[in-house]
Structure 1
């Protein structure tokens, strides 16, 4: 008896929950108000005044867009509960969309031509017009299969996106620390200098300190905005993907299935979006570009911009696996990956702060070339021209690629583009293979001549740049030559990289031209990959240690620093401060692709 009373009370509460507070009847098309309470759409329309309505339960005012209750959000969960309780022992049938004279009958077939569910009476007329008609159960099964595939794909991409977002959050946090450290050092220098003459220059000291704090607060607010947006973006992905997984276990029909597919499309659009991190990189460089100089007591000090034309060598380090450096590339999180082709191979990661991080042994893979896809996955070409792909956590993935071995293709080189395509150029075969990250045979091949490439790069505009010691050759995806830069000086070798702004940086190494056993390095920037007009000389005749084997490479990090390497050493040059706008970032849109 007690059990029955409990069940009766539960049913009574359920009936009360499904009753509209206004009309005291079962909900009909329930809609949300901004306060969270729900009412029948018709009931809400009865007390709409000047495009707003006052909730009779909490008396809070809610806005009704354009005064039309159809624009209010529908309470799908409550509507489904009401429909289920009307006929708890059977699923709601799909009605015929073709009957016009008689009352709608239950649909038994689906017309793909008209995209309508139709009854048995309407089926014959659709057959007469040679429409494609299938049983409604077959259509529902096909829709379920499409839904399952779409859900699995979106769930996998969501997981990858969330991992990438975590890396971006880590980058934002790191850059915030750089800004704080730069501001803290500047404040300390100002205080130490001005304390000796505080009686004479109190006003000047206070003004400089205030200016520094304003800069720090301005930059930290910008970075905090990015961090908050990344957090909200990650939470939105988690919420939508969770809803997809929950509804994926239910059998959806009719309008509920359409709503589910719409939700999948919204998540698809959200996954296609990305976060522009230029503001993060520019903020830290902007903070570090301000320095403090102590002068005479009559003019003790002032904060000023560093010389915009002066590039400085930040770090000059011997590679941990000396003599085995074979490749390097910038990682999506602002680090430098250095690949080794000897002595057990593997990858070393080097941070822009001058620290060698962990070594990825990669089961002894001898690395000839390395690149990172935009989603953070690592692509490796070993010394046998075997292509591997690794996850963000550097776990080897089971994709196989049909590359050319050394006998057929000769030495291979690797790069990737922003569309996740993988390019492999072969020195002997004189061809470029383009692969999908999912492995298999090449999706496209491009042939070339008159160059033996030692490196390959792809510009943001889609041009392919082949690099040899004496020449840069630019091809389009059809294999047509669209640009060329030659350098015939006998004692100079060149290497190059294509930057994110579509400019090209070219390093000229004058071998044995220096003194005391040093080569000389000159780096120039060209403004495009077609006509190669000289834009600027970044630095000239910088002495570098002579390497036993002539191997060189140059890359630009996402934070703006330029890295140059030989077989033995890594050189990191500081980005000039003058590239940052002195007035700040007031007109800079953090996420210009978002509505």
Structure 2
């Protein structure tokens, strides 16, 4: 009312106890106008029945008559208005007290997401820097290939960051839902108990409880995305192909299988078959052929003691025995009448190792500082390569990888050392991957530990794949000084840790 009307209103004695409030205060909920609500169930009665109670079971505002006749005698839970308002307020205040903790937890998760996103972008930025450096060191006019690599990285970054952005969006929407539900539930307490207010309050408090009871987001989902990004590596091209500076790919090393040797402690040589399977030879006789998933498929040459073995491209077995005799066998395990003029074991500390190169030439290395090269036709060596202490040799393109005490070298076919790497007090065992990188297992026999590192074609360290993996200590405790390489280096690395390069 206006001021004039208010003055007239206040002059009348019956109005002295009236409370006059502003319309704005009513609209904004600062003042609640209480009025008597009469039971709708008894509208036909001459006497009005005022609603004073709340049936919790039916969620209805009821009069005393309804309470006695229709609710309490049915086992319903009934409260008077004051009790209901007090209990509802306690429930909503209790839920609201959890809001800050819940929101803080989710905000912390948002921070985690942002940190993981930074990991993704930082890592990919580092890979771009590696690509750019390799590009600058390569030949000119490779802009098209470089752009393709950058695009590939950008696509991966966009894909991974999108996943993190989606997680962040879900969290932010959840925060908004919690805060909105809290405000609505709180505001519902300002409304008078009439109409559907009880249902509304119950619905709003239920909605707030539901969002607060949701499981907290798991940081692992965000960190998994960043870890997946960090599996992205740049592999420089080791062949110096003028049209290719390298490639981008995801690399993850996982335990692919756990091969069970038929003769534990007797492994003496291992080689890949031409069709990609694994062959393991034993000093007491026999070669086990394993599938790519580590299943033993067959055993051949059971009566032939194996020191080292290899394969020609046509599938023939090349076997070096303990007397340094090289023998060829067909794929059907039939011995061929071909002999090789290798150095005998009785010649001053001569212990042989063997590898087959990409040209099907058979190389036999000795501790007496040389490597003999034979053709598959046998007879005398067609070449001798000087080598200082070649305990083990492995073919690598047109070069050879040699292993001795604590050292790995790459030499050419004239014996010149091109690259080398060494570690004190650990024995190396080298292998070549399909992508032409070099894996070296460094075996600490005394402590029963093995580490596997990846190297470039120049024996520059790329990454550590396995660090200090616990292995069984070898049963055969032989030494390099006696002219015998500790074979457990092969068994420790190959058997329990067969890794796959994705």
**Could you say which TM-score interval applies, normalised by the shorter chain?**
0.3 to 0.5
Q: Which has the larger radius of gyration?
A: 2
What is the TM-score of this pair, normalised by structure 2? 0.47
